[in-house]
Structure 1
Amino acid sequence: MKKILFVLISGCLVLATGSAIAQQKQDTLRKQYDALLKGNEQQQNLLVNKMYALLKSKAEKDWITAATYFFQLKKNSVSDSIQKAAAIQFPKGVVARNNAVQVVYDEKDPVKKEQLYKEWLKKFPPVKGDKDVIAYDYAANAVGMAYAEADNVPKALEYAEKIQSPFWKGQGWSGTASMFMKKGHYAEAQPLILKAIDDAWAFKTTRKDEEGAKFAATGYPGYLRMYVKSLYETQQYDSALVYIQRVVEAEGGKPSPATLETLAKIQLTKGDYQNAFTGLSEVAAKGMLTPSSKTMLSEAYTKIRGTQGFEQYIDSLKGGLDAAVRKELAGQMINEKAADFTLTDLEGKKVTLSELKGKTVVLDFWATWCGPCKASFPAMAKAQGLYKNDPDVVFLFVHTWERGEPNPTAAAGKFVHDNKYPFTVLMDLKDPATGINKVVDSYGVKGIPTKFVIDKNGNIRFRFTGFSGGDDAAVAEVKGMVELSRQ
């Protein structure tokens, strides 16, 4: 949480400058710095000199600016040193405040957490008119979430109402509501979710020109889905159908497989087997069935067509999936040189990408803490299985961005071993000097899972991030990318 606050605060400082002239000057400087950051080595060296010059300033905001740009220049150790020095130089400042709040986040007991929060608030009181209130919202929300997890609904609601940043209220309310639902308090969650829905809708429409409107509006479909779930769990099925139509509208009239699955769940509960069957068949045709949606489709199929032929029906729906996926992928091909690397696998053997020239390589960046990464692995295992007898196709699973693991290699090895995945796992460990995972950084990865398909000449032909949730679709995508890359 500390680093998240650091980034947000450094961005908010521009908004907090005193006058319009100061604001304009600050914006101009930021544009200059950003241009140098994106420039060549000489320009980046000039940026380094400018950042060191900022450290002569008596204003903490200049020190934070320097730390931010050193971080973006991948000089993490310099950035960390500046932040440590800033905490000493400005003991009542932003960096010191963010360091001090960490004890609030680390405490698990809600009563102790609240006490630590109040002590922190007393030491670092918010300044009236300061736009940097998000730090206080995060801290208050952390206390509220701890109470929600402890089943203390009144205290959780008390802290949910402390959020001040207009663009973050919906996020805070929905977070508390999500914890209520996790604890089975669906009725208590519903008013909070409705507030979040109304808030996000306002930012999509009447308040769309306000600061942070785009961020606030992005939660709208998710809040609707939460509300549908709460209505379903409280057996308000007709109301759930009304709100799921709003989800469909938010998705542009083209419901996602997850929405169709939720809709089918409601329809099956109401005995509407035909519509559930139709919707889930559409999901199956896109290769997006999950174990739960397949079970629901089986139930609907049995009611409509009887007990025979279900698997054959599923296969018939998927008949055109490979061709459809390849047609779509053909327009997404790229041609970029893949960065070479040498990494060590779980057994200590070194693997060098350039030595695999002549083969098609599927590169999958993942981590043990990454839920979508792990969710994609059954599909990746199936995709790898398609080529188990083909020596010209290689799958490499690069573990990176480890978090809090004293022995990342052992943790990665245990995970694949426990799940019996036949993967070649390579370890992209942090550079001790910079704190950077060099290989994932060299590929410009911003989020995981991210996968690359590299052709026999060492060129990246496909890059895709995330996991949509359907094993059949994911297998078809990997297969399509491999085959197109081999042409």
Structure 2
Amino acid sequence: MKKLTLALLVVAALNSGIIFCQKTTNNGTSGTMQISLSAEPSSKESELLPGLKNPPKVGTKAEFTYVPKNGLENVKDVKGLVYIYANYTWKLDDIEITQKGAVYACSYQIPKDCAFLAFKFYANTSEGIISDTNQDQGYIFTTVDSENQKIPGSNVAWGTFRNSNFNTDFGQYFREFSASDEASEFWVKKEIQEHPENFPRFVETYFQIAKIRKPEQFDTIAHVLARQFLNTYTDLTEDQYAKMYNLYAFDLKDEKRADSLREVLLKRFPKGRTAQLKSFQIASQVTDHSAKVKQFEAFLKKYPITELEGGQPFFYRTIYNFLLEDYFNNEEYDKLKTLLPQLNFANLIEGYHFTISKAYHYKAVPFPVLNELSQAIIAELLAKLDDASYVQGIYLSPQQALNNAQEQLNRKLRVQMRISAELNKPSEVIKYGDYLSSEAKYTDSELNEIYIKALLQEHKEVTQQLEVAAANQALTPELKELLKETYTVKKGTDAGFDSYLNSFKNKGLKDRIQSDLIDEESPELIFEVQKGKEVRIPSEDKIIVLDFWANWCAPCKKSFPAMQQLVENYQNDKTVAFYFINTSETSKDYKEVTASYFKKYHLDTMTVLFDKKTENAQRNTKTFSKFASLFNSSGIPRKVIIKDGKIRFTSEGYSGNPDELKDEMNAVIDMLKSEN
């Protein structure tokens, strides 16, 4: 009987006033949309991500190569994400990604229940986040099992991920592309046909599609189908019942049916989310503060966080914040510390802000008391750093959530260091300073002074810490004098201190440059002068700096004043030569325009050469195109530094900071010189 009822429900869903999408065939007749997800797909290597088998198999480790493009070609520290659809639930995960020269080696362990994968590559830059989703076409795949059978859920994922009506859930993965609503309907209905037993797990998606496709008929369609659905499936989970409740309460505005379902939820799941929410709402309406405290305390006893299944509902956060502040303000510190183990990392961060940080700022609580409470909360924070409480939905990946958590922890550690310093507890200052992440250490001049003074109080050597702080340009005047004292003691004189101090200015930059150095064979450097005579630049026994630019490129010309200063600084150095290569021009008179521009702005110390044109070419890119091919980018300005016929360094673009550009070029040149 159940199978018959289920069959009737599926028929109802498939014929509920929303037709299968159609397309016109070559002969003008209508036919069913062709399905690209075959039942027995053949495996081949992906052209987009070399090494990745397509379709990918669940339970295996996918290993593939990513070739940066779409703005990521010369960006450092590219990262990778993957949206997955597993067990009819969307998740966001990280992929392992390691730079190997100009490409990235990637790997990802595909979960056994994963039906769909969508990879995304991105990097944080000074201009914001740059991401690559294959020029809006996506790096998307449906998966198969060991028998080459599709995984349940693949149709739903394929039909919804590519539709702009759902795309806001996926961080705007697609900017302009969108599958049609008809296509989404087709794939969702196909999932119903193939896996009717799983219909409860994606029924809300069906209703979303129905509302989009037939808004004028939605009320009728939804009422009929929802009634049959609830009659057919009598063993739904609380979450599935809750989704049907939301349908009646918010989409259909059917209060009677919604109230009926709410009663079902309360009866079947007496300690579930609906019951919790009801109790929370009752407690929240209490106006007397003391009575509300008791209500919230009773709530936590009735619904202990340790018995909670799934993610933490929003109202637990509200309750914890209320109680923490109450205990703190009323000096019930023992009750506050007893509550701490219940809180997740995100709760603790928020609680710390509204209690410890606030009290420290206003000096409202004696420092010894504040110190004890702060350390108690930080101990919990350190223990729960990786509890993923910042992973909410599919907005942050596990690694992104951990990075966010570490950043939040750093802020609280800085407060604790200041509290410990106020109490003259140097060992505590050092202890909590050492918990700072490597990215956060020695970047705050005030904190550096607190930390280094604590080291001195504990009779520890501080020269290294002073030098790191100097490299980060984070020395207070007092620390600068201290560094000078240590230098003078070591050298016997303060002569040369300024040069010594400046040597640290670009230490961080030099570390980055060292990791960015490459060793690629350079194309021949064949250009021409203004009158057309060919010039070949020998690259042996010299460091050659090429600056590829064009008259139409504003950032190129904005970088010229800084580059001119570099040219003048090295004009007596016969081991270094600068050439400014005009390329990629679109106008016919680009040589005359170039000469006029350099004369107008007195750039006569800069040697200008012109790229040549290949036969029948519109632009002068003969040599530059070879470099562009190596770097997978034709963007300019492009700096290329060559030594002994090998490309050793390259950079694209201009940040607008002339000092940064000069520091970078000087650091590369000095580093290459030191190799001799």
**Normalising by the residue count of structure 1, what TM-score does the alignment of the two structures yield?**
0.42
**Normalising by the residue count of structure 2, what TM-score does the alignment of the two structures yield?**
0.33
Higher strand proportion (structure 1 or 2): 2
Q: Which has the greater radius of gyration?
A: 2
